[in-house]
Structure formats: structure tokens, C-alpha cells
Structure 1
């Protein structure tokens, strides 16, 4: 009789082994490193090494110039390039930093990620011991290096009976005497949150339905002082969440509304986060193409981002009240699925004519935003893989930002710059708002193919209370990397939005 196999993924508990990042520490020397990552920038028209220590020069040997030898091996200052040089007992990797020595935290974050990712990709009989030497002098630079190194080390754990062995044993960050352990710890917390969001988003939809994601979040947060409340389909019906119920009605796995609450003593500001959690998006009766269907497991990236960000905010002990909503549903086709032409009633009583069942994201977000008004937030931010139109406008690496006031846009863009994520503000015009009206309901969910990202934002804004500062982040492009890995960004799920939300909470903390 065959022995029962252990499940490849247990949806009832969070498995930290799936995002088990290598240990990272501050170091004062190269020590027993197998690989050392340095930078190469251009200064006054000449190549200049960044982070090349006297130890490395000594290992290169008498009469050998490390810089000249690396250049001979192909090292250059062009961003995202890398070259390797084998010295006695250690391999040196030189990452291109650009044409200036005035390096931003994002420059260092990207360089660390490239170096670590490249090192991990080289076959080795034993796990690598990496030291990153990029002359990170400030806390912001140090945190960025830690984030980049750990994010670059991430690799999705395949769903196989035997897990692969870790390619990296440890990461050391060569630091100045002024280096802060607090900055290292912050970088580790932020990077881990991003990788958790990546892992959930990469998991196939048959393993991560609405109730599964709820249980993952509950288990993930159990050691923190974060309140967790869940509304099942019965509670959703009783409370009047007609949007979430409609979108999830076609699935055998009913929808959920997850609410998290981090309320530290002394917090003066209240940040409310809302993340779209469509664990699989078939498009409903407006069925998606075969090509699109293959990757629609990632349509819950917004929910993954807000949950993971909330964990990091609580773990870091940030002094800001954060309430998080994740409307979670699976959009499928069945006799119970909602149809084009149906009229839905949202939590606040607004009726919506469903024009296109593949516009399900804005429907579930409408319910959550309407509910979030009851919390009287100082700032309300929603995050969603919402529209292909935003990808057409901004490409796949830049997220769209739409707000109800320019001051809020500036606040979010400042946080995104600190975090190293790219967003671009798009307008919500009066002409777009005029298209929301319906002949049979208060609103219609879609107009036409023109200005689709703007229409979706205008629709969402209707459900934000007057006087509430609000921002909408459309991460349809950057949430899923369809190309080769670059910088610290892997293929497929990227964890987009997590770092910006944490930086935003940091800016609001007491």
C-alpha cells in the first residue's frame, strides 16, 4: 500500500520555509566570503571602483591592479552590467553603477540585487557566502543594499516533492562604523514582506482560493498585535456587500472580506489600505483569452501587497494606525455567475450596472472602499492589478497613480521614490466622470476602450467619502514581470507596491 504523500502546499498555515531568505549581517571585512560584490562607476570620464577594499587589492596580488583587471574581464560602468574575476579563494563581481559617484539608495538597491542574483545563478558545489561592498554610508543606503541583496536572492520554491537546496549560505554587508543595525533590520523586514507577496502571487489558483488566502494571512500575522476579522459569504450578504458577492458568486469557493487592524499606542494618523484580491480571474462571461487565462492567478497581487505591507509595518512598530481590507473572490463562470447587464447593489447602497464581467476588480474594490469610509481615515489607498489600459499607457514597469488631490499625489510619489518604485500620476477628468452615468442604475462599470484606467479610477472615487484623501495605485503592469529578471526583480510576481506602502506608513508615523 502506497504511503500517503504530504501536500505540496498547506493552505491552512503560513510556511516560512517558502520565503526563507538567507541570513544577512553587518561585517567589517571580507572574511571567509566566497563572492564579493563591488560597483563600477564613471567619475570624470574614468572608471572608478566602489567598495574595493585593501583586502581585495591584496588578494589580487602584487603588481596587479584590480580595476584594470576587472575592466579587461568586461567590467563597465553601464547600469545593470556585471563582470566576474576569480582571485585566490574569492570571486569578485563588479556591477555597473552608471556615470556618477553620487549614488541614490535605488542605485545601490539595484546593484546589490543584480550581484546577488547573478551569484546565485552560477553553479556551485556548496552554498555561497556573499559580501556586498558598495560603500553604503547612510542608513537609507544601507537599508537599500540589504533590501536589494535579499530581493535578488528570492527564487520561487517549485511545487515539487523535494525542495532545492539554498544557493546562498549568508550575505554580509560591508559597512562603515556608523552603520545602523536598525537600518539592516528594516531592510530585512521590508524585503521579507515583498517576498511573501511574491510567493502568494506566484502560487497556482487551485492552491490559493479566497479562504486559503485568508488562512495564510491569519497564520502569517499570528505573532503580531494585528487584529484579524473575516466576513464569510453569509456575513457579506447580511451586511450588504453586493459587489463582492456578485463577483464571487460563480465560483464553488465563496468570497471573503479580510480586515486587519494595527493600532499602536500613541498613533495620531490613520492609514487605510485596500487591496484587490481576485485569486483567479477568468473574466466571467466576458471570458479572457487563452493566453491571459494562464497568468490570472496573479490578480490578487494587490491583496498580497496590502497584507504583506501591514505585517512589515507592525513588525517595524511604526507609530501609525493602519487598517487593511482585502476583498477576496474568485471570478468564474457558472449558473450562479453574474452577467453583463446585471444591476448590483454596493455596500453604501449605490447601484451599478455591470457592463463587463471582466471589470470585476473595481466591483469588489467599491464594496471595500465604501466600507473603509466608516473608519474615517486620514488617507485611503487602494492597490490593484486593475486595467490593461494602464499598461498600454505606462508600460509594464511603471504603475499608475490617480488621486483626488495633488497633495496626496505628492505624498504617495515621495514614498514611492524613497522605496524605489516607479509610479506616474494620471488625471481623473470631469469628462471621464461624466461617462459614469447609467440609464438603469446609479453608475455603469465601464464605458468604452478609451481612457480605461481613468474611467476605473473615476468609478472608484465615487465610493470615497467627500473630504477623504485618497490614492489609487494601478499595478497591472509592474505586479507581474513578463520579461527576464532584471535588477532585484525576478520573473513573474514582483511584490509591487509593498515597499511604497511601508514608506508611506513611515511618513505618517508619530
Structure 2
């Protein structure tokens, strides 16, 4: 008897990435768990979000809520988790430090940490959680909701073994009717991140270039985003030599996706480009064995721009957004491109392939050259591009390179609003002088010193002079090789989606 497949790559399944319900509530009600905050105030813990209902339950458990938490060692230190079991309720108190002027990111992390603690208990039945962090302003409500939803989001394993029940609903206590818009925005944003995570977590045998193209088709089907998919014949006809070269060694041919969201009356045009290497073997410059297992995540940039573009459309932001996702699988075969080959990209630039493991910048070069026809106000590419960036900044901070300081400031402001960490790196004249090849216009790689900077200089070559441009290297934070923390899961993180959404907000009319 045939069994149903665990994953159908030919269609997008929204149930794979379903999030809990999110709503404004006035009380604990029938919740199974509650999350509150504890701050350090004059070296003494103070509760944020306590209610008469919680105090009544604490009294039945033998004391005041603060006294019970203090007896368990709660101090309010950032990241501290203290758990109480009150009558018919699991209470999680999350430490939030000594600053009552909490940033949105503080609230995201606290809400995420609390939800994660509730989920760790496991349950045969879906959980209902109420979060009370005294988040009155809409921006604060949205931050709490985002942190909670992102923590509750999880990758649905490709297994027929039953998992513990997920979170069913999350209630935000203390929010009001005007917060409905903030909760809706939080859900749209969290859903986009969850979709990007899900695609990035999928194994490469289930998500090749054409598979991701079909997934995107299903995902965008009912949205206001138009989608064009170029297959290998169209790529050849239009001159996308870089994408064809990188994908030429695989039995699964490459694709280029072009998304377009254009609401009426828009005056600004944002163009996004996301690297989509669905599996990166390194080609003839084969990666070390230990690195190969996680190379399914080399398409995180493409997942980010597809998910962010739909979210921007769902939020109704007044900015024209075009997104490109060059998709290819980098493999070794008799038809694979070789070190020493010279590739001609979309704009006619010739590139000497000095290292086949620099495939990401080759496919991005084609897509960035194509953006020069779009009359963009800003072009942003996002990619898991270089190990050198991880060496420089560590696994939790992404690199940022830009055409000018004003562009950098706009991106850094968007990242701060989103709660994602970027650090600006330079593109120096010394690095630019390393680009020319003795046999072609450019070479794809120089020596290993300053590798992230060279990659940025290489990409900038393909963007029209005078264009506001930014390169986001998310090689570190796109994949969490450590344990989950606050609202960040292990493995794919969806890092970058929220920054792109905030960037679009900043450009919306």
C-alpha cells in the first residue's frame, strides 16, 4: 500500500508553517500558562505584568507572587527564567534587567524566552499561553507578539512519529482594541520568518531550484505579488551566464525568480536580490566533509526575499518592491564549471572562476546586473556569502557593506527596529584593486585575507554607478548551530526577513 509523501515539493503547504492564534485578552481566562516579567529595581526584583488573578492563584499556592518567585531565586537578571506551578496554571517569570525603559527587542526576547520555556514542558494537548509584559504602546505590543510567535514557530519534522502538541493560542494581556493592527502586523511578519525558516530547513533532495520555484508559486498565489519564473532555456536566451555556469553541474537545472509588488501611487522602488543555492557542494573546490551537511541553507537569502516581499504586500506598504531569487544547485559532474573557466555574466562582464566555491557571488552578479534595468531607488542583496564574514563578526552578527553612508544608516536603522544585528564593513580601494583578472575582466576570488570585503567589492561592480546599494552577508546568523535561545530556534533562523520589511516601511509613501 502506497503511503503519502511527507513533503510535496510541487506545492506550497501552509499547514507546514501554521502559527498559533494571536489575540488581545483582558484576563488569564482558561490559559494553561502565563508569562510575566521581572526587573531588577534598586537591587530588588519587581514584577511586570502581575494581575489580581495571578495574585489570587499565588495566594492559593501559599503566598504573594513576588515572595514565591523570590523564594525560587528570581532576581530579574536578563535571561533568567523562574517557573511556578500555580493552581491550574504554569507561570513563567522572565528576567528583564534593571532598565524599565525597555526596547522592543527586550520585549521580543522576553516573550520568546517565556514561550520557549512553556513549550519545553511538552504536552499532549495544544497549549494556551497568556503573556503579560505591560506592553501598552502598539510598537511594544507588536514586539511582544512577534517574539512569542517566532518562539512558537517550529520546523515540522519529516517523520511519522508524533510530536508534542504545539501552542494553540497566544493572548497578549493589557493590549487594547487599537492594538489589533499591531497584532495583525506581528502575525504577518512572523509568518514570513517562519516560511523562510521552513524552506531553509528542508533537505536538498526535496528542495532543488525548480522545487523552490514551485513552492514560491504556491506561496504567492493569493497575494498581490506577481511572479515570473525563468527556466534554463529562458536563462540561456537572455544571457544569464553566471546562473547557468553554477547550475551546470547539477541534474536539476537552475531557475531565476522575479517577484513584483507595485501598489498604486508608489514613488519609491526597492529592489531585493537573494542568493538561492539550494545545495552547495563547493563544486570542484569541494567543501570539507563536516561542512557539507548544512549546505542546504545556502538558499536562505532567496527564502528571505520571497517571504519578505509577500509580507510587504500583505502589510499594504506603499513602496514598489521587485525581488530576484537566482536558484541553482552547485554540484560536481562532467558538466560542472571548472576553476580557470571564464564566465560571461548578464551585463557582458567576463569573470575568471578562480574558485568554484564562490558560486554565490556568480549567481548574484547576474541578478544584480539585471536590476540595472529596474530604475531602483535602492538595491539590496542578501546572502549566506562568506565564511570570512563569520570569522570577522561571529555567528550572530551579519555584515553590511554599502555604496554610501546614508544607505548604511537606513539599513542599520531598519535592522535596529527589527531587532537584527548588523555591523558595517568597508569596501576599500585596496580591495577593489584586487578585482581584475589577467585573463578576464574580473576574478571571482583573490587570497583569503579580507574575503568578505572582496566579495562585497565584486558584487558592487555589477550595480550601476550612483545606485544606492547594500550587501547583507548573513552567513553567520542565518543558521544557528547552537541551542535555541529566546525566539531564535536551532538551525534556520529566518534572519534578514524582518530587516527587509522594516526597510520597506522606511521607504513607503
State the number of aligned residues: 508
Aligned-partner Cα distance in 2 for 1:139–1:287: 50
Post-superposition shift, 1:178?
6.2
Match for residue 45 of structure 1 among 19, 28, 43: 43
What is the CA deviation profile of residues 10-55 of structure 1, one whole-angstrom value per residue up to 9, with x for unaligned ones?
Answer: 0111111111111110101111111110011112222111111121
TM-score (structure 2 length as normaliser): 0.98
Q: Does residue 474 of structure 1 match 2:468?
A: no
Contact residue 44 and residue 75 of structure 2 kept, 8 A: no
SS at match of 2:326: strand
Change (3 A) 1:52 1:141: same
Match of 2:257 in 1: 258
Aligned-partner Cα distance in 2 for 1:167–1:238: 48
Change (3 A) 1:450 1:183: same
Post-superposition shift, 1:139?
1.1
Q: Does residue 80 of structure 1 match 2:59?
A: no
Post-superposition shift, 1:109?
0.3
Aligned-partner Cα distance in 2 for 1:268–1:75: 52
Contact residue 76 and residue 82 of structure 1 kept, 8 A: no
Match of 2:494 in 1: 495
Aligned-partner Cα distance in 1 for 2:395–2:70: 33
Contact residue 157 and residue 163 of structure 1 kept, 8 A: no
Match of 2:199 in 1: 200
Q: Could you list the runs of 5+ residues in structure 1 that have no partner in the other structure?
A: none
Q: Could you list the runs of 5+ residues in structure 2 that have no partner in the other structure?
A: none
Match of 1:157 in 2: 156
Change (3 A) 1:219 1:178: closer
What is the CA deviation profile of residues 355-381 of structure 1, one whole-angstrom value per residue up to 9, with x for unaligned ones?
Answer: 000000000000000001100100000
Match of 2:329 in 1: 330
Match of 1:244 in 2: 243
Matches for 1:375-386 after TM superposition, within 5 Å? 375-386=374-385
Aligned-partner Cα distance in 1 for 2:427–2:380: 16
Match of 1:508 in 2: 507
Match of 1:60 in 2: 58
Q: Does residue 370 of structure 1 match 2:369?
A: yes
Aligned-partner Cα distance in 2 for 1:414–1:315: 22
Contact residue 240 and residue 366 of structure 2 kept, 8 A: yes
Aligned-partner Cα distance in 2 for 1:69–1:124: 25
What is the CA deviation profile of residues 441-496 of structure 1, one whole-angstrom value per residue up to 9, with x for unaligned ones?
Answer: 00011000100000000000000001110000000000000101011000000001
Post-superposition shift, 1:124?
2.7
SS at match of 2:365: helix
Matches for 1:228-243 after TM superposition, within 5 Å? 228-243=227-242
Aligned-partner Cα distance in 2 for 1:311–1:175: 30
Aligned-partner Cα distance in 2 for 1:55–1:217: 46
SS at match of 1:393: helix
Aligned-partner Cα distance in 1 for 2:275–2:111: 31
Change (3 A) 1:366 1:350: same
SS at match of 1:435: coil
Match of 1:307 in 2: 306
Aligned-partner Cα distance in 1 for 2:272–2:359: 19
Post-superposition shift, 1:167?
2.5
Matches for 1:26-41 after TM superposition, within 5 Å? 26-41=24-39
Give the superposed CA RMSD: 1.1
What is the CA deviation profile of residues 260-310 of structure 1, one whole-angstrom value per residue up to 9, with x for unaligned ones?
Answer: 000001111000000000000000000001110000000000000000001
Contact residue 223 and residue 314 of structure 2 kept, 8 A: yes
Matches for 1:342-491 after TM superposition, within 5 Å? 342-491=341-490
Aligned-partner Cα distance in 2 for 1:196–1:183: 20
Deviates more, 1:84-93 or 1:174-183: 174-183
